[in-house]
Amino acid sequence: MVVKNPKKPEKTGSTARQEQCSLAAIYYAYRKGASLNTTIKDKKSREAQFELNVVLNKIYVSKIPKDWYNTFIEQAQVLCNFKLSSHKIGSITTAYDYGWYDGSSPKGVAPADTTTLLQDIWDLFGPKVWKLFGGQGQKDSWNTADVFMVKKGQDKKILSAVKSMKEEFIDNSKTEPGVFVGSINTLLTQYVNSGILLPISLKAKTSGVSMTVKPTNMHTWDNKETIDVRTASFIKNPWMYFNVFERKGKLDFGGGPNKMDGGNSLQYFAQFRVGDYETKYLIEQRMAGTGTKAEIKDIKLTNKGEDKRAAAQTGTVPGYKFRELIYDYTGEKEDDMVPAKTTHLNNPDDIKYWSDYLIKVMNDSTVPKSIGNFLIKVRDIDENYGGKPKEFIQRLFEIDEMIITNPRLAEQTFKVPVGDYGPKLRLKLKQLRFLWAMIQSKQKISELITHLYYLAAKQNISEADLNGPFLKIS
């Protein structure tokens, strides 16, 4: 028996409402026979669609934006038309139970038709396995499914099989937890391939792009230890503007005073081909609290044959995985020589270290990049350190020290709020390290480009990766 937390918090907010609306649309398509706004004329089907619309509005609370309503309906349509979940729209089936990965009581689904299978599997894993993914609260790092469907009565059978495997691999032997998770993923993949379990990852519909279902992490490795990356390259080379400007009324970084130009982010556009499938994406390394995060968005082909940035994020590279990649390629921790925002950088050792670091990144020619002109243009201050990276770093660190020791003087000097400068300066230093990781990857740059995307999308690039199988609707 799985021991659950006494009070397991359910996700709240707009994302929670959207996930529950998606599940309600799927539920009404299968269990109630809703028409999903197709041309079906059957009276019961049309009544079920009307009932679904009422339920969606109750779940969403406020008026549903048209693009989100279309997302909910089209997600259900493409799932019905997918081979593993094939269902004639307008007909009724009692074959499934339905689950929401972030809650046990999804709105719009009858209690008798709900399941908590994926949550129960995660709870069953225990501390040794949770540690692999960054802790108990990081279940999305194992499986990115938002909602799921299970054939009636099969959830108990699947959970029993997982429990038996845990006793064999973890409780009664010294098997590595990663081997156990890989075995569980193989087991679940078999259930997904047979249509018994359908873990579903949901993304907002991108206007002008037809939604599709993509089976993910269901690769059989055979004698290969990694996927076959055929090509990978930058579409737009990395850029990380190291200029100081006033942006949105604050002391900030960016490419120019009147436009974003990436702002505080390090970004690039890339494409890669694995097998017969080509993927294009945008990555953005930006601030997240006191640390950094690397977010990725797909570039999708519209129905008119044009590239368009996806409406929703593909995902975020897990922080600990991002830090591991930095270390693998550089031998350095992401925050090496990057002190807390209240610790001074304006000393000879830090100035020498980071000016040398900036120079070696600048002088590299293997990875084309843009890092700005070393300008400081804020109100009456107009300083140009082009060609003088050491002097530029020293000036940045002087500003940082002024803000730490006398913030009032700093604001009087620049005539704008300066409170975010320290964390953003430290972000720029970490971005230099990310650029150095790309440079150090050398012949493995294709692998790095691909691996970052796969980590964000929770897709496995090698047999050693431990993300569970799911169906991605986007």
| pTM score, whole prediction | 0.63
The answer to whether residue 462 sits within a structural domain is no
Long-range contacts at 128-136 (CB < 8 A, ≥ 24 apart):
128/170, 128/177, 129/170, 129/177, 129/180, 129/181, 131/177, 132/177, 132/178, 132/181, 132/466, 133/318, 133/466, 134/318, 134/319, 134/320
Shared domain check, 133 and 250: no
Q: What residues make up the domain containing 105?
A: 14-217+469-473
Please return the burial class of 172, using the count of CB atoms within 10 Å of its CB with bins 0-12, 13-18 and 19+: exposed
Side chain identity, residue 105: S
DSSP designation for 317: E
Shared domain check, 233 and 201: no
In sequence order, what are the residues at sequence separation of 6 or more whose Cβ sits closer than 8 angstroms to the Cβ of residue 276? none
Can you tell me whether residue 110 is helix, strand or coil? coil
The answer to whether residue 463 sits within a structural domain is no
Alpha carbon distance 294, 101 (integer Å): 23
Shared domain check, 274 and 412: yes
CA 71 vs CA 66, 206, 474: distances in Å: 9, 9, 9
Over the range 305-330, which residues count as b (16 or more CB within 10 Å of their CB) and which as e? eeeeebbebbbbbbbebbbebbeebb
The answer to whether residue 202 sits within a structural domain is yes
Q: Do 152 and 103 form a contact (C-beta atoms < 8 A)?
A: no
The answer to whether residue 422 sits within a structural domain is yes
The answer to whether residue 224 sits within a structural domain is no
The answer to whether residue 253 sits within a structural domain is yes
Tell which residue, 424, 366, 434, 357, has the closest CA to residue 392: 357
Shared domain check, 51 and 176: yes
Shared domain check, 451 and 387: yes
Q: State the CB neighbour count (10 A cutoff) for residue 40.
A: 18
Shared domain check, 63 and 160: yes
Which residue spans within 2-120 are E strands per DSSP?
96-100
Shared domain check, 199 and 269: no
How do residues 81-127 score in pLDDT, each as one tens digit?
Answer: 999 999 999 999 999 999 999 888 899 999 999 999 999 999 999 99
Shared domain check, 251 and 210: no
Tokens representing 126 are: 């225990």
Shared domain check, 320 and 248: yes
Shared domain check, 207 and 80: yes
Shared domain check, 198 and 282: no
The answer to whether residue 223 sits within a structural domain is no
Each of the 474 residues of the chain gets a pLDDT tens digit; together they read 333 333 344 566 789 999 999 999 999 999 999 999 999 989 999 999 999 999 999 999 989 999 999 999 999 999 999 999 999 999 999 999 999 998 888 999 999 999 999 999 999 999 999 998 888 888 788 888 999 999 999 999 999 999 998 988 888 777 788 878 888 888 898 899 999 999 999 888 888 888 999 888 875 544 444 555 667 888 889 988 888 988 888 888 887 655 545 678 888 888 877 665 678 888 888 877 767 778 877 776 565 556 656 666 677 887 888 888 899 999 999 999 999 988 999 999 999 999 999 999 999 999 999 888 899 999 989 999 988 999 999 999 999 999 999 999 999 999 999 988 999 999 999 999 999 999 999 878 888 888 887 777 766 666 556 788 889 998
What's the number of domains the chain is made of?
2
Tokens representing 116 are: 């908590």
State the DSSP string of 331-362. SS-TTTT---TTS---SHHHHHHHHHHHHHHH
Shared domain check, 245 and 347: yes
Compute and round to an integer the Cα radius of gyration of the chain.
25
Side chain identity, residue 269: F
How do residues 247-259 score in pLDDT, each as one tens digit?
Answer: 888 888 887 655 5
Tell which residue, 468, 466, 467, has the closest CA to residue 178: 466
The answer to whether residue 359 sits within a structural domain is yes
